[in-house]
Structure 1
Amino acid sequence: MIDLSYDFINTLQSEVLRQFGVDNIQPNQCKLLAQAILNHTGKLVSETTLKRVFGFAVTQHSFSRYTLNTLAQYCRYKDWEDFQAHYYKKAFRPRQQADLSRWSEIKKKANAVSQYTTLTLKNRSGIPFEHTAPRQYCLSHIERFLESNYAATVFIAPAGWGKSLALVHAAEHYWFGKNALCPQDICWFINAHAAGSLLLKGFSLSSWLDNQLNIGNGDNFREYFTAHPDEKSGRLILIIDGFDELAMGADKLKLLYNKLEDFVYSNDLHPWIKVILSIRSSTWSEVFQQSQQSPAFRRFWFLGAEMDEETNINIPMLTEQEVKSVLYNFDFEPETVRLFTDSFLQKLRHPYYLQLFSQLNNTPGQTFVDENLSLFEIISRFIQNRLFSSPNNAFKVSIIERLLQLLDLGRTGLYADKSALLKQHPELFPAYRELLADNILVEENLSQEIMFNVKVRFAHNFLLEYFTAMHYVQTHGGQVSNALLDNVLNDFPQSPFRMYVFKWLLRYAITHQQETGIQGVFTLPLSALEKAHLLEYLVLHYQQEGNPQFSKVFPAGYFRKNPISSFISDDFVHFKKRKLLHALLSLAESTEDRLKIRSNLYIMALMQLDAEQCEIELSNIRKICQADDAIRDMRVTPYEAFYFIYEYLKFGIINEAAKEKIYHFALCWSFPQQKNISVADEAVFRAISFIFLLLGDHQHLIDFSQRLFNEHPSFLFNRTDPFRLMMLCWKAQAHLALNDVAAAKRINLHVDKVLKHYSSDFFNGRHLETLQKIISAEIWFRENECNKAIRAAESAMETAQKLDFKIFSLLNFGVLNRIYHHLQMDKQQKEAMHKVEIIRGSTTFTQALPNLMQL
């Protein structure tokens, strides 16, 4: 009889490969092997069966005698029994030899089947197994379980959570690795399908274990080793992976669970026998959850500290370090990984999303996909794999449409009642369970003793955003028309949710080559922030597709009517935006657009203390200023103000004529209140404020900024304008220099409140956050709150270094140096000074260090 042990499957694999003439086999070679077997034996073993034999496909039952006989005959044996008999004699010496006790024999059987199971799971991994990372929580969970008196434990999570690979890593860590911690234990690692194929035929786990003794009828495995403890070298661990209701069927699964439960509870007197399962959250709620009410369940089953009773998950997502470990294994440079935003890393902590992201960048010659673009590609692939490629996709789409109706496309909240979702639609139950299993939907059980209350939501908000966008596309005949865009605009207020819905619509229009729809998105009365994010996505998408000449999407004159400068803010002062800004230059049609882009590139280079790049941008800015009469007639042009800063930091030179011109301008300029600030005006105002700060003329800086707010009171109402917040930060810095701590603290608290309240509006604008923390550190130091000061200053330094804001690093060092000196933290002071020396060696702005560190 072919049983669970598969004692010689690994040996058979090796013999088949040797006969075939290869050391390793790939899935695409199974067809050739099938033909070779047919030629040699005259019998057909299908390509699919061979993939199961070598672990490339799921094995839902024991291999047939026909398959094993044919493979044995291919290896020049009479049949499978002859093959086993031959290798049994080689593998096992006479029983009287002490080193091959019954425990050792069973361990050999267990190792054979476990090696086959782990090989299968490794081959089925979406990421090459050698690139995956052990999950410390799972290892610790099993360690606590092994040391406890519990008889069973379980990993519960949705599909794609990495449960099976976590078990493989754990099995190698504790039992099968080179430096295994518990090498004397017997570990029987099997797939639930293999167990079910026997148990559903009437076997029980206890009788199956009894059969492994192979010493005659009537012997009891557990009682034998309890009576002969000297023959027992460790524990017996039974790992069953994949209690999957979808593949097995609910009725069979419940029968299997009952048999498993009988086995677990019968081990009360045998604590050295332990069971480990992996199971999907949806299956747990259907089959296991009812048993949790019994005291016996809690006494025998270890669920772990992370068990969430509402979502039925007891494995946390990957840690940030585990995510980075996988990315490093895929040859991502540490510098690249360090630049990922926190929000993007949070999404990659989901194992399946990390898998998709890794696959996006694992194609030979594939460059790194921008994280903003990657997120949409990950979600798109996830939905394609889990929803549209499913046999029940029509039913699944019906459920999702019903959920969108109940949520009113998110306007009434994120949760709907399960009873309302599935009421009077029993035909939807199987598809609903698949949506739960695939982590598209999530149930949260909020039931109480007297009230049944189960809520359903999308597993992630971006799934709601995606399906909302596709709902509008479907209801408008698959066209991103002006009517569709107007509906979205009218249905949702300005919010990150609305912006992401528009992003999905923009992506749909791009991929379906609907140029009218693309143009329509940018003619909507959206906020500057929304347009900036949408235009960035558009540029990134075309660049990724290898088609940077995307200007043909927009007709001539389009960006004269819809100027780019209206939504390029300080949010674009980020070195990762440099490529984007250069791409936008090809779209810029007006002087203001070109000046805005070049000014941002200059500021970016200045913040990085890249003198050579500043020279390049100054040359371009000079040409723009000279070619425009209005700019050339300004009392101080952007070029003159920017060049003054460059000369001062490069050579320590103060051009007295330029200085007098700048001071005269600052004292005398005046515009009607209704006049909007132009791009050139803003560039000059920004530069003059920084000049006053560099020259240490703090009172002039305060007066200048106050006049600016008086002349243009609209600033007071535009709370999230980055230019306004930057001016407030410089003003607070000046108050500190004049020892007016109270005024500086009042301004700083306001900026901090705005940045926190509108955090989603500053996705890339980390320079404002960094400058605000530097000011906070100085204020807390002066108030003798040294612990708070250190935390703020060190956090600001970390961000400044991560984003290469060298100017802020130098400003922050002045604060840190005083704090470290005051607290006599000599080691930290030396380390900070070392970082400053690195900056000194990386810039030709020779006067930057002495001038900036004294501010």
Structure 2
Amino acid sequence: MIDLSYDFIITLQSEVLRQFGVENLQPNQCKHLTQAIMNHTGKLVSETTLKRVFGFAVTQHSFSRYTLNTLAQYCRFRDWEDFQNHFYKKQFDHPAGQDASKWDDVRRKASAVSHYTILTLRNRCGLPFDNTISRGYCLQHIEKFLESKYAATVLIAPAGWGKSTSLVHAAEHYWFGRAPACPQDICWFINAHAAGSLLLKGFSLSSWLDNQLNLGHGDNFREYFTKHADERSGRLVLIIDGFDEIAMSADKLKLLYNKLEDFVYSNELHPWVKVILSIRSSTWGEVFHQSHQYPAFRKYWYLGTEMDEETNTNIPPLTDTELKSVLYNFDFDPATVRLFSDSFLQKLRHPYYLQLFCQLSNTPDHSFVDENLSLFEIISRFIQNRVFNSPANTFKMQLIEKLLKLLDMGRAGLYTDKSGLLNQNADYFPAYKELLADNILVEENLSQEIMFNVKVRFAHNFLLEYFTAMHYVNLHGQNVSAPLLEVVLADFPQSPFRIAVFKWLLRYAITRGQADGIRDFFRLPLATSEKAHLLEYVVLHYQQEGTHQEQLSNIFPPGYFRKNPFGQFISDDFMHFKKRKVLNTLLSMAESADDRLKIRCNLFVMALMQLDAEQCEIELTNIRKLCAGEPAAEMWITPYAAFLFIYEYLKFGQIDEEMKDKIYHYASCWNFGKQKPLSTGEEAVYRALCFIFLLLGDYHQLLLFTSRLFEQHPSILFNRTDPFRLMMLCWKAQAHIHTGDVDSARRLSCHVDSVLKHYPAEFYNGKHIETLQKIIAAQIHLHDQEFNKAIRAAESAMDTAQKLDFKIFALLNYSILDRIYHQLQMDKQKKDAQQKMIVIRQSTTFIQTLPGLVEH
């Protein structure tokens, strides 16, 4: 009889461990077990074989009789037959008068097989299995299938999507858990490696199933239990995991599928026999998808509600709840997880990226795990595992280089024809199939009846960004230099794509210690936002290293930032509590008074937005020193004086009338005939003035000030992506609303919204502009009496404001929600909003908190 089932493999494992003297075997103990077996039997069972026996390595075939005999002899039995006979008699002997049913006998055999498969898959899981979660969709998919008339179903997804893990959770839920949902079913859970070679040798699933009756009369399993339905207490479910992970040619894979298809279609008269497969998207498109034209296929196969025909996937990404559950299982602080951006969480919904993230973040007790660095490390590790560590890496890189050329590095679009990429070159086919299987490339079949049309693209845009950057590195001798950067600058316009390519090049220079190359980035004529992103990445990287100050000093020696001040690109986008550590590091590197003033002003505004009176006072003291040490500027008031006015008003409820008069006469100090760029001090004062007019509730003056500011500095209007410009437009829109010109506010709000949406979420990291824009949009919807839209906008703004801990925005938003609830007579929600405003006021030592904004 063929040892496909490993009937007593679990028993054999237990006996070997008992003889070895341990309860649980670890992979590193297999070497010692090998020696113990050698000492007792005089025979060698290799460490690798033992890892397969105990489920730590993939089993691609049945265990040899030599291995089974040797392990049985180690357990004090004559051979494997003696071992089986002993435990078969012990396991299946029944009290007098009680005969075990044939169904129960087969279920015991199936349980032994399935438990071994489950153990193997648990050990092969990329994460500690107990930290994984059961996928709600997969359970629902299998439940619907089991209750349907379909004969087979399949979980289709790219490699690393968690198909095997989902099947283990489903098997434990329905058949093998402590309280299984379907205890009367027979579930035969096998790995395709165990069955594949046998099936190709002529072995059939039908004949194997018949043999499990063990009667020796050639009984047909399905016909027997159909005829004797009273002996059958449930369904027979055959699960084959990793159908396409067997290393074989396409022809053999199709032969294997044909055998499986014969078995599925022969179950029409036996609806209680069910088949569940897991398969990669690339194999589904190549082998199974061809059967879609046959009516029989749709009659027998259940594909589920989430089947995407273009990408050949029927398992959706992880839900936010599932994703966060896994992170919590790894002891990530819920407060930390709540701070992850939506774009970062969206990427982690891909199970393989989540797995890499959890593996890389081996110190999850940190107060915050930086998204920027983590994402680049995840992608780098993913490509290393799936491309560079592959035996076919040479052909894979040749294909990727050809795809980059056909796409013109993305400038010619994101898709190319499959025929043009492969060009009938047979050498490329295996590597191409691996790239599809590993989710590096994706096929989209757009063929019609009269035309064959298959397009190929990178599975994710960040793969295109990575390989584009590495293409330029290879062209310039693996060295990041000024000529390389100038080529990239000339080849691509300002865009998020260019920033991403520059970041990959910067990471390459950092990891290879190319200090000159790192400095070359900051000599380029880049946009303010681009330099800000790059400088932040450098600082973040060395902060992770621990000795950042020394390493940064080696890259940026004394005098570097005096000649190349960075204050010009420390923009409002650094207005984020996550940036505080970066700003403090930059402060230690700053050599010009302007740079130090810019950072201190940003830190003060952040503390102000959080209504942190104590931190405001600390930053105010430092700003006073900076302003006192500089010669008198042309400005009519200093940043220190403007911020001090705000602080004293909020802290003590006092208004310095002399300073107020000076503030209100800003226009008399402006020279409208002289055009010059904003200085650091001017930008700080103008930002402070907006807050002052807001705090005083003087929206007429806020409107007048923002209008005149754009007249005084028209160049601001032409820098579309400048966060300072967008913030000023938001304050102007806020002023329009409160002065009755809602149409003007609507135009400004829509403009800011379109700019923000034009760029990916990572472009504006600060999020405070987006939050303020949504607050303004909520007010406009409230004016238009579109209450549902108003509530959605306000709640979205509130979610971000709470993540950022920007209490000023939270108060603004609660005041809007308060008015919405008042209009809708939602007394409970209105009371709740008012209570939360009280909580915010009580959380700060400021005695004034936007007093003019809480009136109805």
Shared fold, TM over 0.5:
yes
2:630 alignment partner in structure 1: 628
1:65 alignment partner in structure 2: 65
Q: How far did residue 422 of structure 1 move?
A: 1.2
Select 1:614's aligned residue among 613, 616, 629. 616
Q: How far did residue 22 of structure 1 move?
A: 1.0
1:832 alignment partner in structure 2: 833
2:264 alignment partner in structure 1: 264
1:723-738 aligned within 5 A: 723-738=724-739
- If the length of structure 1 is used for normalisation, what is the TM-score? 0.97
Cα distance in 2 for partners of 1:670, 1:99 equals 104
Q: How far did residue 849 of structure 1 move?
A: 5.5
Cα distance in 1 for partners of 2:420, 2:760 equals 35
1:251 alignment partner in structure 2: 251
1:483 alignment partner in structure 2: 483
Comparing 137-146 and 284-293, the one that deviates more: 284-293
Contact 1:191/1:242, CA 8 A, preserved across alignment: yes
Q: How far did residue 279 of structure 1 move?
A: 1.0
Q: Deviations over 1:312-346 (max 9, x none)?
A: 21211111211111101001111111111111111
Change (3 A) 1:437 1:48: same
1:843 alignment partner in structure 2: 844
1:210 alignment partner in structure 2: 210
Change (3 A) 1:759 1:115: closer
Q: How far did residue 841 of structure 1 move?
A: 2.8
Q: How far did residue 704 of structure 1 move?
A: 1.6
1:14 alignment partner in structure 2: 14
Contact 2:193/2:246, CA 8 A, preserved across alignment: no
SS, match of residue 240 in structure 1 = strand
Contact 2:57/2:120, CA 8 A, preserved across alignment: yes
2:803 alignment partner in structure 1: 802
Q: Deviations over 1:657-680 (max 9, x none)?
A: 221222233544335432211010
Q: How far did residue 30 of structure 1 move?
A: 0.5
Contact 1:529/1:761, CA 8 A, preserved across alignment: no
**Corresponding pairs, count:** 854
Give the aligned residue type for 2:604. Answer: Y
Comparing 254-263 and 637-646, the one that deviates more: 254-263
Cα distance in 2 for partners of 1:751, 1:404 equals 34
Contact 1:61/1:194, CA 8 A, preserved across alignment: yes
Cα distance in 1 for partners of 2:750, 2:455 equals 40
Contact 2:697/2:852, CA 8 A, preserved across alignment: no
1:592 alignment partner in structure 2: 594
Give the aligned residue type for 1:747. Answer: L
Cα distance in 2 for partners of 1:496, 1:727 equals 23
Cα distance in 2 for partners of 1:747, 1:455 equals 41
Give the aligned residue type for 1:748. Answer: S
Change (3 A) 1:758 1:56: closer
Cα distance in 1 for partners of 2:579, 2:111 equals 54
Cα distance in 1 for partners of 2:295, 2:700 equals 74
Q: How far did residue 593 of structure 1 move?
A: 0.8
Cα distance in 1 for partners of 2:143, 2:253 equals 28
Q: Does the alignment pair 1:346 with 2:332? A: no
Change (3 A) 1:744 1:281: closer
Cα distance in 2 for partners of 1:668, 1:505 equals 46
Contact 1:440/1:463, CA 8 A, preserved across alignment: yes
Q: Deviations over 1:744-802 (max 9, x none)?
A: 33332333333333455743131111112222222222222222222222221121112
Cα distance in 1 for partners of 2:441, 2:689 equals 54
1:242 alignment partner in structure 2: 242
Give the aligned residue type for 1:688. Answer: L
Contact 2:150/2:301, CA 8 A, preserved across alignment: yes
Cα distance in 2 for partners of 1:596, 1:44 equals 71
SS, match of residue 52 in structure 1 = helix
Q: Does the alignment pair 1:399 with 2:399? A: yes
2:519 alignment partner in structure 1: 519
Unpaired segments ≥5 residues, structure 1: none
SS, match of residue 257 in structure 1 = helix
1:568 alignment partner in structure 2: 570
Cα distance in 1 for partners of 2:364, 2:535 equals 29
Contact 2:343/2:762, CA 8 A, preserved across alignment: no
Q: How far did residue 525 of structure 1 move?
A: 0.7
SS, match of residue 318 in structure 2 = coil
Change (3 A) 1:366 1:736: closer
Q: How far did residue 639 of structure 1 move?
A: 0.3
- If the length of structure 2 is used for normalisation, what is the TM-score? 0.97
1:136 alignment partner in structure 2: 136
Change (3 A) 1:367 1:727: closer
SS, match of residue 61 in structure 1 = coil
Contact 2:609/2:808, CA 8 A, preserved across alignment: yes
Contact 1:361/1:368, CA 8 A, preserved across alignment: no
Cα distance in 2 for partners of 1:740, 1:365 equals 50
1:819 alignment partner in structure 2: 820
Q: How far did residue 96 of structure 1 move?
A: 7.7
Change (3 A) 1:283 1:757: closer
1:652 alignment partner in structure 2: 653
1:186 alignment partner in structure 2: 186
Q: How far did residue 271 of structure 1 move?
A: 0.3
Unpaired segments ≥5 residues, structure 2: none
2:756 alignment partner in structure 1: 755
Contact 1:415/1:457, CA 8 A, preserved across alignment: yes
Q: Does the alignment pair 1:740 with 2:741? A: yes
Q: Does the alignment pair 1:784 with 2:785? A: yes
1:380-419 aligned within 5 A: 380-419=380-419
1:670 alignment partner in structure 2: 671
Cα distance in 2 for partners of 1:284, 1:513 equals 44
Contact 1:291/1:297, CA 8 A, preserved across alignment: yes
Comparing 555-564 and 116-125, the one that deviates more: 555-564
1:52 alignment partner in structure 2: 52
Contact 2:496/2:760, CA 8 A, preserved across alignment: no
1:261-300 aligned within 5 A: 261-300=261-300
Cα distance in 1 for partners of 2:775, 2:293 equals 54
Change (3 A) 1:13 1:269: same
1:328 alignment partner in structure 2: 328
Q: How far did residue 367 of structure 1 move?
A: 7.7
1:159 alignment partner in structure 2: 159
Contact 2:332/2:365, CA 8 A, preserved across alignment: no
Change (3 A) 1:821 1:97: farther
Cα distance in 2 for partners of 1:760, 1:363 equals 26
1:84 alignment partner in structure 2: 84
SS, match of residue 188 in structure 2 = strand
Q: How far did residue 369 of structure 1 move?
A: 3.7
Q: How far did residue 688 of structure 1 move?
A: 1.4
Give the aligned residue type for 2:349. Answer: R
Q: How far did residue 831 of structure 1 move?
A: 2.3
Q: How far did residue 845 of structure 1 move?
A: 1.0
Q: How far did residue 555 of structure 1 move?
A: 3.0
Q: Does the alignment pair 1:601 with 2:603? A: yes
SS, match of residue 76 in structure 2 = coil
2:559 alignment partner in structure 1: 557
Change (3 A) 1:442 1:124: same
SS, match of residue 665 in structure 2 = helix
Cα distance in 2 for partners of 1:364, 1:325 equals 14
2:38 alignment partner in structure 1: 38
Give the aligned residue type for 1:775. Answer: I
Q: How far did residue 23 of structure 1 move?
A: 0.9
SS, match of residue 586 in structure 1 = helix
Cα distance in 1 for partners of 2:534, 2:489 equals 14
Q: Deviations over 1:513-553 (max 9, x none)?
A: 11110011111111111111111111111111122111320
Select 1:577's aligned residue among 562, 579, 601. 579
Contact 2:330/2:364, CA 8 A, preserved across alignment: no
Contact 1:13/1:54, CA 8 A, preserved across alignment: yes
1:537-556 aligned within 5 A: 537-549=537-549, 550-556=552-558
Cα distance in 2 for partners of 1:246, 1:6 equals 19
Q: How far did residue 492 of structure 1 move?
A: 0.8
2:174 alignment partner in structure 1: 174
Comparing 310-319 and 438-447, the one that deviates more: 310-319
Identity over the aligned pairs, expressed in percent?
74
Q: Deviations over 1:694-741 (max 9, x none)?
A: 112222222222211111111221232222222222222223223333
Change (3 A) 1:291 1:783: closer
Give the aligned residue type for 1:458. Answer: F
